[in-house]
Amino acid sequence: MIKKCLFPAAGYGTRFLPATKAIPKEMLPVLTKPLLQYGVEEAIDAGLTTMAIVTGRGKRAIEDHFDISYELEHQIQGTDKEHYLKEIRAVIDKCTFSYTRQIEMKGLGHAILTGETLIGNEPFAVILADDLCDNHEGHGVLLQMVKLYEKYKCSIVAVEEIPMQDSKKYGVIAGEFIEDDVVRVSHMVEKPAPEDAPSNLAIIGRYILTPDIFEILQNTAPGKGGEIQITDALLAQAKQGKVIGYKFKGKRFDCGSVDGFVSATNYFYAKSEIEN
């Protein structure tokens, strides 16, 4: 059973400066909800109850968001504005939050290793909140992956087909299809040039990892960009046949880029218009 979800959230968000000068990029809202809350809700929908967040300097707004604001509650209690807090209250009621700080930014692999103290020795999920995913017929991407974990009991990366020229933005996998949408991964490369990419299947920010990944990460040398890459650590597991790539059902937006953020905003706005 997977109970814990790790959220690496220590990055600077330089692509969104000046907005992210004093506000964590994970707190930027799509409509009225911060990116990180979408991720936490996806984890809750997948049955996870413990949210482990790796933060950094200047990220205290994250902790305040997933807490009660007594002053605010008091102000709006009994008014017609109370419903605005309904969703975040439901989130706080359903799960617990723990935090640790990444002192130095040494890459996604390093951020995940920093979270070991919150995860311990059990399989866990990872959500990168700036990859915003909408569910497929009520099934969130992480829920689909948790179900797949019950079958394969190994690390899983969510993958999506990308245009070859975008390979430099992603970890790219190669392997053999063992089901319609499931690949047994044999190779993976972090941000290859298009001519070096082993396929057009890119990893997006949803992972299920078995806890042996921590020891592998401790022994993983800095890779692309001089950073410790989760892709490199996963390659060690893949070489033993222990990584699955899953072509998820649903929609994903790269909210780490302004274009993707605008598309997500338009998409969720149109969706909310239909729902109301």
Instruction: Choose one: 35-43, 59-67, 203-211, 257-265; the region binding ligand G1P (CB under 6 A).
Output: 203-211
Which residues between 127 and 186 bind ligand G1P (CB under 6 A)?
128, 131, 170-171
**DSSP H or E segment with residue 157:** strand 155-161
By CB under 6 A, name the one of 173, 208, 256, 264 that touches ligand G1P. 256
Q: Which is nearer to ligand G1P, 42 or 95 (CB)?
A: 42
Cβ(231)–Cβ(188) below 8 Å:
yes
Q: Which is nearer to ligand G1P, 52 or 202 (CB)?
A: 202
Residue among 48, 24, 46 at smallest CA distance from 36: 24
By CB under 6 A, name the one of 231, 238, 244, 255 that touches ligand G1P. 231
The footprint of ligand G1P on this chain (CB under 6 A) covers a number of residues equal to: 13
- Distance of CA 261 to CAs 133, 180, 201, Å? 12, 30, 22
Alpha carbon distance 269, 256 (integer Å): 19
Cβ(208)–Cβ(155) below 8 Å:
yes
Q: Which is nearer to ligand G1P, 55 or 88 (CB)?
A: 55
The answer for residues whose C-beta is within 8 angstroms of residue 55's C-beta and 6 or more apart is: 9, 10, 24, 62, 63, 99, 100, 101, 102
Q: Does 203 bind ligand G1P (CB under 6 A)?
A: yes
Residue nearest ligand G1P, Cβ-based? 171
Q: Does 190 bind ligand G1P (CB under 6 A)?
A: yes
- Distance of CA 271 to CAs 122, 201, 231, 265, Å? 37, 28, 34, 10
Taking the complex as a whole, the smallest distance from the CB of residue 81 to ligand G1P amounts, in Å, to 35
Alpha carbon distance 253, 130 (integer Å): 8
Q: Does 108 bind ligand G1P (CB under 6 A)?
A: yes
Taking the complex as a whole, the smallest distance from the CB of residue 169 to ligand G1P amounts, in Å, to 7
Taking the complex as a whole, the smallest distance from the CB of residue 256 to ligand G1P amounts, in Å, to 6
Residues forming contacts to ligand G1P in the complex (CB under 6 A) are 108, 128, 131, 170-171, 190, 202-205, 229, 231, 256
